[in-house]
Amino acid sequence: MGSLDGKVAVVTGAAHGLGRLHALGLAAEGARVVVNDLGVAADGSGRDESAAQAVVDEIKSAGGEAVAAFGDVADFGDAQAMIQKAIDTYGDLNILVNNAGFTRDGTIFNLTEDEFDSVMRVHVKGHFAPSKFAMTYWREKSKKDGAPVFGRLVSTASESYMFAPPGQPNYSAAKAGIVSLTMGLAQLGQRYGVTANVVLPRARTRMTMGGPTAAIFQKPEDGFDNFAPENSSPLFVYLCTPQAERISGYVFVVWGQQVKIVERPNPNGALFQTETAWNMQTLHEQLGPHFEKLEPVTDGYSVPAM
Ligand SMILES: NC(=O)c1ccc[n+]([C@@H]2O[C@H](COP(=O)([O-])OP(=O)(O)OC[C@H]3O[C@@H](n4cnc5c(N)ncnc54)[C@H](O)[C@@H]3O)[C@@H](O)[C@H]2O)c1
């Protein structure tokens, strides 16, 4: 008996890397899985219908149930079709793991309009579109049944949204968008039995092995292999289980042997007030002494890179 026996899951971008492991992990817990992928290269180029099918074959050969849904996560028609495929094939939908994505790195000086748009599109719209059709199904089902559904939504962001690396302005902005989007879904989903959380993984995949980060993510010659993607994937699966019913509206970091909860931003930092309307003089009287004691940027909002 698996913890997800009888449940139905959609995993986006499940042909490679983390998504493939999420699909295998959900299936190993008994879920029937719709394996979505567009079969693109690490920079989002190309298409390959056989990529998702290969993971379906892998799940089936291990005794699980799965079906492929070739399509683009950021296309409303394809996103609706992959959710519908779960309902038509297995009679329900319980789990959506939003995972698909790619990077096209560069500083603001070098990034083209297409490199900006395509990365924003695949991550932000690519989370929004499948979530829209999953949430709509869950709301309608809950209203029809007069009872909460079993709904689990897991989004994939990145620590880039906190570190804001200058070489990834498109990706870090997109991942910040995913966090805000998912926090709203968590609030909405509470009415219908749906949990929604965000996970920030660190893992050796073609995404991290293709650029300047490759050296960091190398497999060590000995000792624990911190960046093996197998260390990140179990949390995604756990958040989809019945046992995780009280976990919603959280952001986690996972890699190696640790799971961390990211604290909510504190909107109640230093407070400055005026008796009248602000002007340049009153602003500087109050803000000037405060910032004299602080370093620009390093004491600022983004988390210093570790
Ligand atoms: N690897 C890491 O350390 C790391 C860190 C933080 C966040 N992430 C995030 O994890 C997720 C998975 O990344 P990965 O490292 O496994 O990369 P990966 O390249 O191995 O896998 C990404 C998958 O998404 C698919 N995909 C891309 N565009 C798609 C589209 N439009 N429609 C459907 N499928 C599409 C690709 O074909 C591929 O199978 C991404 O959202 C990534 O941003 C990864």
Is the CATH code 1.20.5.510 the one for domain 8-261? no
Domain boundaries, the chain: 8-261
Res. 210 pLDDT band, cuts 50 70 90: confident
- Helices (H) and strands (E) in the chain — how many of each? 11, 8
Q: What is the pTM of this model?
A: 0.98
Which residue, among 54, 63, 137, 129, has the nearest Cα to 95 in the 3D structure?
137
Output the ligand 1 site: residues, CB below 6 A: 12-13, 15-19, 36-40, 42, 44, 72-74, 99-102, 122, 126, 156, 158, 200-203, 205-208
Instruction: Indicate which residue of 85, 125, 141, 175 is catalytic.
Output: 175
Half-sphere exposure of 229 (CA within 13 A, CB side): 16
Residue 305 pLDDT greater than 80, yes or no: no
Verify whether residue 175 is a known catalytic residue. Answer: yes
Which residue, among 238, 231, 277, has the nearest Cα to 254 in the 3D structure?
231
CA of 70 to the centre of ligand 1 (A): 15
Verify whether residue 142 is a known catalytic residue. Answer: no
Atom of ligand 1 nearest to the CA of 14: 39
Gap between the Cα atoms of 169 and 178, Å rounded: 14
Neighbours of 273 (CB within 10 A): 7
Instruction: Indicate which residue of 118, 131, 155, 158 is catalytic.
Output: 158
Instruction: Indicate which residue of 90, 137, 161, 171 is catalytic.
Output: 171
With a pLDDT cut of 70, the percent of the chain lying above it is 100
Tell the residue nearest (CA) to atom 20 of ligand 1. 17
CA of 25 to the centre of ligand 1 (A): 16
Task: Please report which residue ranges of the chain form alpha helices under DSSP H.
Answer: 17-28, 50-61, 76-90, 113-120, 126-145, 160-163, 169-189, 206-209, 214-217, 233-238, 280-292
Q: C-alpha angle 221/223/227, rounded to 5°?
A: 80
User: 48 phi and psi, to 5 degrees?
Assistant: -150, 110
Res. 12 pLDDT band, cuts 50 70 90: very high
CA of 98 to the centre of ligand 1 (A): 10
Res. 306 pLDDT band, cuts 50 70 90: low
